[in-house]
A and B are shown apart, each in its own frame.
Chain A
Amino acid sequence: NAGVIQTPRHKVTGKGQEATLWCEPISGHSAVFWYRQTIVQGLEFLTYFRNQAPIDDSGMPKERFSAQMPNQSHSTLKIQSTQPQDSAVYLCASSLGGKNTGQLYFGEGSKLTVL
């Protein structure tokens, strides 16, 4: 059982460049979440999908952030025109849902550094 896989583990971009982060959820999990972690803000919810459909993107900065889940084994988080304040660890998590709602399995995260 591989767990949630996130790539890349580390990414460095220049200000204004685009960054795409990938997530492979645990097979059979119906829900996929994206969170952002920083020292100042802690763990912030960004968005989530259930059965590949977008359900709640209330935490996503509207202008430059987007997330997709084109199939059940793959989700992406794209940040356009990256800014230094986007530097963070981006965490993907998946969940079985149902009675296990809230039991999230997190990946190791993708650390984004914007210079």
Chain B
Amino acid sequence: GDSVTQKQGQVTLSEDDFLFINCTYSTTTYPTLFWYVQYPGQGPQLLLKVTTANNKGISRGFEATYDKGTTSFHLQKASVQESDSAVYFCALNTGANTGKLTFGHGTILRVHP
């Protein structure tokens, strides 16, 4: 079945540091890939999505490239802020027009001022 792996359970940074969150996926079809972000007390919200291999998604300073060769969709940001502290989920959707997502386990990002 489909799966998403996020190796890092937690990442701790200082403001203005570079962010890299690892995400790899496994599927037998051609997925759409997503990053969702969850702030305390809220449900996850869409950060960015990419539907086509080799394309890059960009939102609010975050970016991720759909790399079909390495089956990866790593999340990056050049300079994090304390307000970026949250849980980040990588996800994929392979069900044709179903919207059913398979999520990674999530990576907690803590940014210190």
By a beta-carbon cutoff of 8 Å, the part of chain A in contact with chain B is 4, 31, 33, 42-43, 45, 48, 50, 55-56, 91, 93, 95, 97-98, 101-109
Establish whether residues A33 and B43, one from each chain, have CB atoms under 8 Å apart when the complex forms.
Answer: no
Least CB distance, A48 to chain B, in whole angstroms: 6
B54, chain A: closest CB distance, angstroms: 19
State in angstroms the CA–CA spacing of A40 and B99 once bound together: 24
Q: In the complex, are the beta carbons of A95 and B104 less than 8 A apart? A: no
Is B76 among interface residues, defined by CB-CB distance under 8 A? no
Complex-state Cα separation, A91 to B42, whole angstroms = 10
The CA of A35 and the CA of B40, in the complex, are separated in Å by: 17
Give the distance in Å from the alpha carbon of A98 to the alpha carbon of B32 in the complex. Answer: 13
Taking CB atoms, residues of chain B closer than 8 Å to A4 are 43
Q: How many interface residues does B have (CB within 8 Å)?
A: 23
Count A/B pairs, Cβ under 8 Å: 61
Residues of A within 8 A of B32 (CB): 101-102
Q: Shortest beta-carbon distance, A26 to chain B, in Å? A: 12
Closest Cβ of chain A to B5, distance in Å, is: 11
Contact A104 to B89, CB < 8 A, known contacts A42-B104, A42-B105, A91-B43: no
Q: How far is the CA of A105 from the CA of B36 in the complex (A)?
A: 10
A42 touches B103 (CB 8 A): yes
B31 to A, closest residue via Cβ: A102
> Which residues 61-113 of B have a CB within 8 angstroms of A?
89, 91, 93, 95, 97-106
A111 CB, nearest partner CB in chain B, Å: 10
Give 28 A-B contacts (CB < 8 Å), ordered by A residue: A31-B98, A31-B99, A33-B100, A42-B89, A43-B106, A48-B98, A48-B99, A56-B100, A91-B44, A97-B97, A101-B32, A101-B93, A101-B98, A101-B99, A102-B32, A102-B34, A102-B49, A102-B93, A102-B99, A103-B49, A103-B99, A104-B44, A104-B101, A105-B45, A106-B42, A106-B43, A106-B45, A108-B42
